[in-house]
Chains A and B, each alone.
Chain A
Amino acid sequence: MNTNDKQNIEQQLIELGEAMREQPSLADAVLEQLAEPNDANLSGSWFQSIPYFGEMTMLQRVTFSSVTVALILVAAVWLISSSASVSLAQVSSKLKEVSSYAVDIEMKASHGGETKTMATAKMYWQAPGSVRYESKSAKDSPMKENSVMIFSTSKPGIRWNNIRKTYSTQPAKRGATSPLMLLHKLADYRGEASKELGEKTIDGRRCVGFEIALNELDASAGEGAVTLWVDSGESLPVEVTMKMASESLTMTFTNFRWNETFADDFFSPKPPADYKDTTPAPTHTKESVALITASLQTFADLSSGKYPQVKVIYGDVTRDAARKLAGFKGAPTPEEMRSKEYGKIMEATRGWARMNEIMATNSNAAYYGLKVAAKDKDRVLFRWKLDSGDYQVIYGDLHSESVTGARLAELEQGSQ
């Protein structure tokens, strides 16, 4: 063999290897996936289906946290209104007096009739809207998840990882976060419990139980059920259980400590000393538009030109809706997970998660999927305000441009 040729093929291989090793590693994706609640014995269960959508998994956690805050304090007020054995005025009055609380959370996954604890957490809430969420994986998990997330509606938040000793800052949630976060508004909500569960004793306390649909609390939050047990004497929640219909996941909240006093810096978004900042660089508008339009196209392809039928996009909820449209039922099988269609939905989830991120942090973002479909070429489907003061607009046919505020007003006048 010609020596030069041999060197040439070797050189090509060396260059290819170097180029491949310069690409982003799968390591973060693998760690992120391992950090999700998991159980090696539960093959095919939902958590094994998440490849790498950092935004989505974060979103999922925030969603859970948000839901939790509201459910505990507000759903109680609302639900108790239908109970003859507990006075609504009494419960409402009690809950409105609550200025803070702490609660223990246990996350369980079920598969094949077997239920196992995946993770535990402690959540702390303080008026008017500061949340601290500390989560740990179950003891038998190979990946020891141990993270803290602090966020609020008024100032930037933070999340740090005690194992990797890293942190990332999170923008303030000034945008359209779930109404479940807006406690005072939810307190005014009046609805029906889907089921009254009667009475039972929990830790020696007589409790009244109710079941409600999760999407009754937030129409964009997907299907699921919430079970609430309230101390009939004290008129405060004793146990709350939330079950997501699309996943075999149940979260149970117990051991409420009301009106806890926290240290001054307990909700401070300050990382522990010596932790490394891994906050990702802001996403460029062009990249966001490409990601979002591709994901909306995926959804429209699955639903005959319609976009997600919600007012607020959540990455995980939209992913579940798309899975359902594509014919995936329940927890996906390993074969389904490896299918191209499933992979496409998981890829699109990054775009939906990006939309949620924009909506949660940008007070001038709006999504009109309930009224605008793929056929509506020039109607505004999604828009948000740019740092320049202009607005980025994505239309029904998914073309996009930036426009002035005045032009946006014209576009939206009478059509949205």
Chain B
Amino acid sequence: MRSTAELVEQARAGDADAITQLVQRYEHTLLFTAWAIVGDFHHAQYIAQESFVGAFRNLHQLRNSRAFGPWLIASVKRSANRKRKQLPREVHGLAMANVAESDDASWRKQFESLAPMLARLPEQERTVVSLRYLSGMPVKQIAEETDRPLGTVTKQLSRAIQRLQTMCSKVEE
């Protein structure tokens, strides 16, 4: 598997396959990151897609190819926060969290039930959880991508799961 840094270098040269792999690697994390801020699936999809397009058009601004992931996630957060300010409170309020478009696909229902809890995780934990589970990234790769020690990532994942379980328990009570 090519590293993100390698893919970024190839994307800089206009390699469509590299762009495809980078999108596939990050799209679920971006979608969730945007959703966690705006609380609206429709807007989150637009924001994620726009962020990818903006990132690839501005790759020349990224000096360190290894920092692509955090750079991309920061970009989607900025866009989502801008959007959040424009949305009525009931749309982005987590208590009213919803999947905007009616869709009975089971994965959307799963997303709808888990995403509000994930959104309540501390930001760093939220990022590693979404990279690990939504993007399916190995722990070692997450450590490289986020420039954190492997042990830190493992601990953050463990704490995140613990928090999620606590949230689940409260919901069940």
Question: Interface SS of chain A: helix, strand, loop or mixed?
Answer: helix
Question: Which residues in B have their C-beta under 8 angstroms from that of A13?
Answer: 114, 129, 133-134, 164
Q: Are A19 and B19 in contact (CB under 8 A)?
A: no
What is the size, in residues, of chain A's interface with B at 8 Å between Cβ atoms?
45
Question: Which residues in A have their C-beta under 8 angstroms from that of B134?
Answer: 13, 16-17, 20
Q: Are A20 and B162 in contact (CB under 8 A)?
A: no
What is the size, in residues, of chain B's interface with A at 8 Å between Cβ atoms?
47
Q: Are A6 and B20 in contact (CB under 8 A)?
A: no
Q: How far is the CB of B164 from chain A (nearest CB, A)?
A: 5
CA distance A20 to B48 in the complex (A): 14
CA distance A225 to B111 in the complex (A): 49
Contact of A29 with B by CB under 8 A: yes
Kindly report which residue of chain B lies nearest to residue A36, judged by CB atoms.
B53
Contact of A127 with B by CB under 8 A: no
Q: Are B161 and A10 in contact (CB under 8 A)?
A: yes
Kindly report which residue of chain A lies nearest to residue B40, judged by CB atoms.
A340
- Contact status of A31 and B162, CB under 8 A, knowing A16-B107, A40-B58: no
Contact of A206 with B by CB under 8 A: no
Query: Interface 1/0s, chain B 15-56, versus A by CB < 8 A?
Result: 011011001100110010000000000110111111011001
Question: Which residues in B have their C-beta under 8 angstroms from that of A48?
Answer: 50, 53
Q: Are B53 and A34 in contact (CB under 8 A)?
A: yes
Kindly report which residue of chain B lies nearest to residue A50, judged by CB atoms.
B53
Kindly report which residue of chain A lies nearest to residue B136, judged by CB atoms.
A17
> 13 pairs across A/B with beta carbons < 8 Å?
A6-B161, A9-B161, A17-B136, A21-B135, A25-B20, A34-B53, A51-B46, A51-B49, A142-B12, A142-B14, A142-B59, A163-B16, A335-B86
Q: Which B residues are within 8 Å of any A CB, using their own CB?
A: 11-12, 14, 16-17, 19-20, 23-24, 27-28, 31, 42-43, 45-50, 52-53, 56-60, 82-83, 86, 106-107, 110-111, 114, 129, 133-136, 161-162, 164-166, 168-169
